[in-house]
Chain A
Amino acid sequence: MVNESADFTTLKELLGVTDGNLASHAKALENDNYIIVEKQFIGKKPNTSYKATEAGRKAFREHIDALEKLIQKS
């Protein structure tokens, strides 16, 4: 894993998507148990951060492997 966890704002900046877009994708990943969501308060501000689960990491690796196999096939 490149990063242990990432918070909402960092991801939003990195991916260049809207709040709603990011939130819905995160919800979908959470429903599949690929990530866990941690909500806390930093001082008075709410902070949401995401961590990959073991299942999520496995799925990611399999996805990368599949992509590489498809590229090698041609």
Chain B
Amino acid sequence: MDTQNYLQDLKEIKDLMNKSSQFISLSGLSGILAGIYALIGAGVAYYLIENHDGYYITLESSTFKLILLTAALVLVASLLTAYLCTINKAKKVGEKVWNASSKRLLINFFIPLVTGGIFAILLLKNGYYGLVAPITLVFYGLACVNASKYTLRDVRYLGITEIILGLLAVEFSGYGLYFWVLGFGVCHIVYGTVMHFKYDRK
């Protein structure tokens, strides 16, 4: 029956509309790996805190610098993994990694993210330590919600979850590391798994 052709037509039109505005090569696998890196990093940070020689961890202490280094390594590893996984998936799907959609995705992701990063550094500088973890989670969540318009929709829900976690973290000041474990570790693994089974295995 001709219905098959019409369905096919509609499907092709819908696919083209999505493909031209959304970057679909975002890989769920990179989310899972980023979550694992975050959990490892949190483990290292916990160990560093436990073995710190003093009551408070000051900004000048080697412990703090090592924690910062750990966080930076987790970030770099996550970005590198995401980049490699994305190139891999783009090849399979036939999308170019660097196109109008991915450019819009990156710009709209980085604006809130960099804002949050600067905000967090300023908070540290001015002694509002309790707000650093919540702020990073909230702005990361906002960055995800903003970027989700230009890529797979599930990123939007990840963003909302991070925002809620960040807001809760304000009330539980002092448990920043645990909220980071939840937000950057567990959430990434969960959403990464969902996205992997939804999209990566077509």
* Residue in A3, A15, A68 whose beta carbon sits within 8 Å of that of B10 in the complex: A68
With known contacts A13-B96, A74-B1, A2–B21 Cβ distance under 8 A = yes
Please state if B13 and A70 are interface contacts (CB–CB under 8 Å). no
Does B153 count as interface, using CB distance less than 8 angstroms? no
The CA of A68 and the CA of B7, in the complex, are separated in Å by 8
Please state if A10 and B99 are interface contacts (CB–CB under 8 Å). yes
Within 8 A of B (CB), among A13-33: 13-15
Residues of chain A lying within 8 A (CB to CB) of residue B9: 67
* Residue in A3, A15, A71 whose beta carbon sits within 8 Å of that of B3 in the complex: A71
Does A64 count as interface, using CB distance less than 8 angstroms? yes
The CA of A3 and the CA of B99, in the complex, are separated in Å by 14
Interface residues of B: mostly helix, strand, loop or mixed? helix
CB closest residue in chain B, given A11: B20
Q: How far is the CB of A7 from chain B (nearest CB, A)?
A: 9
* Residue in A14, A68, A70, A74 whose beta carbon sits within 8 Å of that of B19 in the complex: A14
Residues of chain B lying within 8 A (CB to CB) of residue A13: 96, 99
Does B100 count as interface, using CB distance less than 8 angstroms? yes
CB closest residue in chain A, given B22: A2
Please state if B17 and A64 are interface contacts (CB–CB under 8 Å). no
Does A55 count as interface, using CB distance less than 8 angstroms? no
Residues of chain A lying within 8 A (CB to CB) of residue B13: 64
Residues of chain B touching chain A, judged by Cβ–Cβ distance below 8 Å, are: 1-3, 6-7, 9-10, 13, 16-17, 19-21, 96, 99-100
Q: Could you give 5 example pairs across A and B, Cβ below 8 Å?
A: A2-B20, A14-B20, A68-B10, A71-B10, A74-B3
The 8 closest A-B pairs by CB, nearest first: A2-B17, A2-B21, A74-B3, A67-B6, A70-B6, A71-B6, A67-B10, A14-B20
